[in-house]
Amino acid sequence: MTGTLYLFSGFSITWIILFIYLFSMVKRQKSLEIQIEKISSKLEKVQNSQALP
C-alpha cells in the first residue's frame, strides 16, 4: 500500500464515520417527529369526539 492510499483511507473513513453519525441524528429526529405526529393526531381525535353533541 502506498502513502496516498493510506491517506485516502484515513480521510474516507473519517468522513464516513461523521456521515454515519449525522445520518443517525437525522433518523432519530425523524422517529421523534413521527411520535409527535401520532400524539397530536390522537389528541385531535379526542378533541373532535368531545366537540360532537
How many angstroms separate the CA atoms of 31 and 20, rounded?
Answer: 16
How many angstroms separate the CA atoms of 30 and 26, rounded?
Answer: 6
Residue 3 or 53 with smaller CB distance to other proteins: 3
Residue 1 or 52 with smaller CB distance to other proteins: 1
Question: Which candidate, 29, 36, 15, places its Cα nearest to that of 44?
Answer: 36
4 touches other proteins (CB under 8 A): yes
Interface with other proteins (CB under 8 A): 1, 3-4, 6-7, 9-11, 13-14, 17-18, 21-22, 25, 28-29, 32, 35-36, 39, 42-43, 46
